[in-house]
Amino acid sequence: MEYILKDLEPKRVFYYFEEITRIPRGSGNEKKISDYLVAFGKKNNLEVIQDKALNVIIKKPGTIGYEKAPTVILQGHMDMVCEKNQDTSHDFEKDPIPIVVDGDFIKTKGTTLGADNGIAIAYILALLEQKDISHPPLEAVLTTDEEVGMKGAIALDGTLLEGRILINIDTEKEGEILASCAGGVRAMAKIPLKKEEMPNTNHLYHLFLRGLKGGHSGGEIHLGRGNANLLMGRILYYISQEVPYDLISIKGGSKDNAIPRESDAWISISTKDEEKLKKSIEKWPQILEQEYGLIDPSVQIHIQKSSKENKYILSEDTKEKILTALLTIPNGVQTMSVQMPGLVQSSLNLGIVSMEEENIIFISALRSSVKTLKTHMENQITLLFSQLGGSVDFYSDYPAWEYQAHSPIREIFQKVYKEMYHKEPQVRAIHAGLECGIFAEKLEGVDLISFGPNMWDVHTPDEHVSISSVERMWHYLLAVLREIK
């Protein structure tokens, strides 16, 4: 198979990046990529450990002159967010990612790219493979299920690692080095469904919302982009005030850590009310343009008669509970940091709405750099769904990574960046979650930092990464490693 990226520099970094775009690695489906990493380590005569969670650790001694240098942990995650447009035919469990080179960017055709965190894997493999790069002893730690609650990092046995310097390669802006991040938890709320027989005289209609940008539910939650699940709830509630209808089903979003871009609902309506329904929908393009014209200019709501076979509708009581949840569930930015202006302190993202046989499910990602605010959001969700006769389960809880005033590795990153690029890097905290908080708890006294090349629109089909930035940050990493003696 021809390599599309074969002429890009650094060659071995882009070779491995393209290699892993051909291997399934959606969260929860990482066996093949994990085994690939194990095979790589063995092929290069390196010590390899693969644990029950499919995490992979690969160890490499320091090069000449660095044998007694402190061990450095290079860390990234092997899973990716598998998002695609509904009109894109792609099977993430077997199809390679359709990569495209467009000027300075690597993009895809209607799917996520997986540069988050595939670039980290490519950097690490290229570094472990080469014999002519000076570096201290290395421990590569590649974790699983980061995108769905950092399950791999949580399961990892910290006693397997000697290093107390950890470089996380999961940052998306060149020139920024991260020193702190939020913690988080997932919330799965359920409301029981009650069904009734659908009247024979009714017709089915399909409402579908398309064209929202979406984005990372941590890194881009502050941009005010539309949430397809909440917008569909608003539209359905508005219609209910204009014309009677029965709700059959609703679904939206596919990942709790991605702002949902699309939502679908099916409703049943009497023949005599069909024109009223169409008129009520006709008002919404103007409303969406007024509210989201500058943020989400491509958002559209469509309605069409459906040929879907259906025997049941949801009871009026169930419909009201669903609409109440969608109109009142906390979502978006909740608080901003006072200590760090511009930093989101706490937020929620209703990423998934789906229906099972007996329940409708609402899955949210909660994030906060302050533990008590995370607890407050958990209480809000719990009380809301308790009032609606539902229940909530919380899972994949991970800690915040707290800022440390003294950090030798941060000082090295700052020094090297200034020497290479003649300007100071920005030291920042982010609202998105990183595995650094987990490693800070597992490895006593560890000194952590996070960096990475420029990439945009991660967790969406518009994800793209800068080729030149990947090259610059590669040389930056190598220069940092040479400083650690």
Catalytically annotated residue among 18, 19, 30, 79: 79
Residue 79 among the catalytic residues: yes
Cβ proximity of 369 and 431 under 8 Å: yes
- Residue 403's CB is within 10 A of a number of other CB atoms, namely 16
- φ and ψ of 442, to 5 deg: -80, -35
Taking the C-alpha atoms of residue 450 and residue 446, their distance in angstroms, rounded to an integer, is 13
- Pairing status of strand 447-450 against strand 165-168: parallel
Q: Which residues, 6 or more positions from 349, have their beta carbon under 8 angstroms from its beta carbon? A: 217, 221, 227, 256, 257, 259, 331, 332, 364, 365
**Residue 471 falls in the annotated catalytic set:** no
CB-side exposure of 482: number of CA atoms within 13 Å?
11
> b vs e for 112-146, b when ≥16 Cβ sit within 10 Å of the residue's Cβ?
bbbbbbbbbbbbbbbbbbeeeeebbbbbbbbbbbb
Helix and strand totals (H; E) in the chain: 12, 25
What is the spatial distance between Cα 54 and Cα 144, in angstroms, rounded to a whole number?
7
DSSP label at 178?
Answer: E
Helices 274-282 and 228-242: angle between axes, nearest 10 degrees: 130
Nearest to 65 by CA among 139, 130, 135: 135
Q: Any idea what DSSP says for residue 294?
A: T
Among residues 30, 83, 146, 378, the one annotated as catalytic is: 146
Residue type, 370: V
Long-range contacts of 101-108 (CB under 8 A, 24+ apart): 101/4, 101/5, 101/8, 101/467, 102/464, 104/466, 104/467, 104/468, 105/464, 105/465, 105/466, 105/467, 106/5, 106/17, 106/464, 106/465, 106/467, 107/462, 107/463, 107/464, 108/461, 108/463, 108/464
Question: Which residues are catalytically annotated?
Answer: 79, 146
